[in-house]
Structure 1
Amino acid sequence: MEGWINPYYLDIIVFLFINIILGLGLNLITGYAGQVSLGHAAFYGIGAYSTAIFSVKIGLNPWLSILLAVIITFLLSAILGLPSLRVREDFLAITTLGLGLIAQSFFKNAKITGGAYGIDGIPMPSIFGHELTDVEYLLLVFIVLLVLIYVLHRLSRSKLGQAWTAIQEDEVVAQSMGINTLYYKVLAFAIGGAFAGVAGALFAHKVSFISSDTFGFTLSATLLSMVVIGGLGTIRGTLFGVSVLYLLPEVFRIFDIKIIDPNYIDTYKMILYGLLMVIMMRYRPKGVFGRKIRHQKRAVKD
């Protein structure tokens, strides 16, 4: 089966699934808990660098490295989220943006992260000595994605999800109802960060080389565009938004569409994302699945 499928297409699907996992984590923070984050790429980078350091520099088993990377990302996301949660709305967005830039600067300059050279030679996980093939790794990422979708689905319908909904609707009212808003907001950052940590670890072992350029503001802004356009606070919105906006540029590459210069497709991509954001904010500010979000919130209240 490995030889029947173009490896390029396999990579597109793998990276699509990884980006969906990233989007789910951001949607948990922004869509469910109402905390605007412009630094989600920092959590992604923490997961990637953690597993790379454990597996390459310390020599741990890749599976153990991935597990430790997720735990570390969970803890650091909670710590990094603490100063952000003392502010709200626009100030929160600016604060998370600053944290994201600080994290990228650390990745680029710290000795443990390899500095500007990054870390290479990140091993592919293996089972009983058998290194996973591209198809097997695709299956692994797909299973992880399904598990995380189920986890987010259960969280959104639990008491934890109800607390996040109340905070998103009106934080002052939520506090007056006895909800510990700081605790629940930190927990949202931690769990959303853990999702990003999973994505980062899977990404690192797939590409075998990482550098700080991958985890910058552009990625955070792109993810936020995907989640907002698909619809905040809904899993289907994340699946739709990330899939459409991630695959659209690939369509131009695969079918060699001559409408735009393929050498500048990344530039055109950002222009397209920005244009779509403007259109969505004007005509459908809740996103494609926005109306369903409101129905879900009513159901939670009832």
Structure 2
Amino acid sequence: MTYAIVVAVTAILMASVVVSLNLTAGYAGQPNLAQSAFFGLGAYFAAVLSVEHGMSFWSVLPVAALVAGLAGAVLGAISLRLREDFFAITTVGLNFVVVALFKSVDFFGGATGIYGLPLPVLGSTAFTNDHFLVLSVVLLAVVVLVARIVRDSWYGGMLMAIREDELVAASLGAPVALFKASAFALSSLLAGVVGAVYAFFISSITPETFGFNQSVLLLSMLIIGGIGTIRGAIVGAVLLTLVPELFRFASDYRNLVYGVFLVLVLRFQPQGLVGDDSWLARGVSGLLRRPSPSLPTPKEVAR
């Protein structure tokens, strides 16, 4: 049971990060391959402030959010002069820079990372895995709520207009720079909070945890689930967290199975498993729209 709870918490936290990534990669259409860096900034600042400076779990959460959000705003400012492939390459470089800082700067503990994070305390009770499960569900609900508010607002509509054609949006008077920078800041802020919770959950962090491979995995989760949709972000994150665990018994071939699965989905269902216009989404939509059979009238019964 403990193992199942650990996997569940991990999957839910990954879902929260992927939903936050969808704000930029999905809604704003920016190919962000640095989300793991913001996730890591939140985790590292939470760990440093807790272990080295004795701050409580609850007090480090806003600090982790602020630091990651500011870093995201900087990336958003950088993105103003870059487009598509060039921006994607820039985010890759940023991820490597952040990981290099984690490894080389003593403030972040160097290559060995940071260990021994204290358990959060609620009242006089130290957290257990059950507490982390509840907290992760609440955190996912908050991130989803923020994403839904953004999606259904005029702000989200402007982000999607920028995604479809940035030049046209700018020609119509939309403040593209402000919208892109704010989207990155909000996305990174949410990832930073999740990173802080993740650091306390696993109680130790190392630079490799937040490397480029993790950013690729996060974006893969979003694409496979269905980029641009909240349900796709959650399904992709949960599925790609569980698949490696399900094939743990075949550790030598686990990555092979994982890779084949990615290729098949991208080849035959590029919209994602539950994304807009996917076969599954169309099927569910068709079932919901199917008219229910009407009851016979008394005249028809008499016949």
When normalised by structure 1's length, the TM-score is 0.88
User: Which residue does 1:272 correspond to in 2?
Assistant: 260
Gaps of 5+ in 2: 283-303
Q: What amino acid maps onto 1:271 in structure 2?
A: G
Cα deviation for residue 270 of structure 1 reads 5.4
Deviation digits for residues 72-119 of structure 1 (CA, Å, limit 9, x no counterpart)? 111121113322331011111101111011111111111100000111
Aligned length: 279
Partner of 1:285: 270
The one-letter amino acid of 2:276's match is G
1:108, 1:116 within 8 Å by CA — same for their partners in 2? Answer: yes
Alignment of 1:187-266 (within 5 A): 187-253=182-248, 256=249, 261-263=250-252, 265=254
Matched, 1:125 2:120: yes
Which amino acid in the other structure matches residue 290 of structure 1?
D
Is 1:74 the counterpart of 2:39? The answer is: no
Q: In the TM superposition, what are the counterparts of 1:129-168 in structure 2 within 5 Å?
A: 129-168=124-163
CA RMSD between the two structures:
1.8
Q: What is the aligned partner in structure 1 of residue 97 from structure 2?
A: 102
What is the distance in 1 between the residues matched to 2:258 and 2:105?
29
* Overall identity of the aligned pairs, in %: 39
Q: Deviation digits for residues 207-240 of structure 1, max 9, x if unmatched?
A: 1110101001111111111101111111011111
Q: 2:48 aligned with 1:48, yes or no?
A: no
**Partner Cα separation in structure 1 for residue 208 and residue 196 of structure 2:** 16
| Shift of residue 123, structure 1, vs aligned partner | 1.4
User: 1:174-207: per-residue Cα shift (whole Å, max 9, x none)?
Assistant: 0011111111111111111112112211110001
Q: Residue type matched to 1:272 in 2? A: V
Q: Greater Rg, structure 1 or structure 2? A: 2
Structure 1: any 5+ residue segments left out of the alignment? 1-5, 296-302
Moved over 3 A (4+): none
Task: Return the TM-score normalized by structure 2.
Answer: 0.88
Distance 1:41 1:270 in 2: 20
Distance in 1 (alpha carbons) for counterparts of 2:105 and 2:114: 12
Measure, in 2, the Cα distance between the counterparts of 1:223 and 1:174: 28
1:247 is matched by which residue type in structure 2?
A: L
